[in-house]
Amino acid sequence: MPKRVLHDEYFRKAKAEGYLARSAYKLLEIQKRHGIIKPGMTVLDLGCAPGSWLQVAAELVGDDGLVAGVDLSDVRAPMPPCVITMRSDFTKQDAATLLEPVVAFRGDGSLYDVVISDMAPNTSGAGDHYKSVRLCEAVLERLPGVLRPGGSLVYKVFEGETYPDLVKRTGEMFSWCRGLKPRATREVSTEMFVMATGYEPALKQASRPEGVAPPPPQPKKGWGS
């Protein structure tokens, strides 16, 4: 097995260029290849701490856009004015709470243009793939009511035996979907990044098992930068 190199090219580059983590270059490569985030867009980052994807998304949307982030941990690093964060479990927040930043920003009932997620479970070496897939499924479950029709999605998952099924399920919700392993991903890592465009929410709603109700509304927690 290749030896893991902690302080490699991308680690040093992140330090030099002011990014909080090397993971910034994974989103930058995805953006370079597919141009998913455009100036003036609104982006929701699920599992956003420590904030490197917030930094990249903020650069891409610019002053006329908005980036909202949710995480169980605080984002402690300073962020541009277009970024707003909330410390919370996104799986326990209703759509109305997650939409508060974009509603205030647009002044109407707009939904987010893009949802991104670089989340990973606490790894133990046993069952990490399945834990990662469950997190990604939670992201997919939050899309109705927060991502606009035609919107885009980018998420990270640990590759394993149920990875193809996850990609297939994502593809059934979008008009285009594919996986990518960015160059900034360490050689020993099983990380894959799934990109999807052309969200079709009606298909997602129809896929809910018969007799299963949506999650009940949860108490609201406030947003703050």
pLDDT 10s digits, 99-157: 999 999 999 889 999 999 999 887 777 788 999 999 999 999 999 999 999 999 999 99
Asked if residue 88 has pLDDT above 80, the reply is yes
Is there a domain that residue 113 lies in? Answer: yes
| CA-based torsion, 5, 180, 33, 75: positive or negative | negative
| pLDDT band at 18; cut points 50, 70, 90 | low
Is there a domain that residue 135 lies in? Answer: yes
pLDDT 10s digits, 62-86: 999 999 999 999 999 999 999 999 9
Is there a domain that residue 82 lies in? Answer: yes
Whether the Cβ atoms of residue 101 and residue 70 lie closer than 8 Å to each other = no
Q: Which residue has the higher pLDDT, 145 or 19?
A: 145
How many domains are contained in the chain? 1
Note down the domain range covering 14.
9-206
Is there a domain that residue 134 lies in? Answer: yes
Asked if residue 2 has pLDDT above 70, the reply is no
pLDDT at 152: 98
Lowest-pLDDT choice from 25-34, 85-94, 198-207: 198-207
Domain harbouring 165, CATH code? 3.40.50.150
Is there a domain that residue 212 lies in? Answer: no
pLDDT at 183: 81
Is there a domain that residue 56 lies in? Answer: yes
Is there a domain that residue 191 lies in? Answer: yes
Residues designated as active site = 156
Is there a domain that residue 72 lies in? Answer: yes
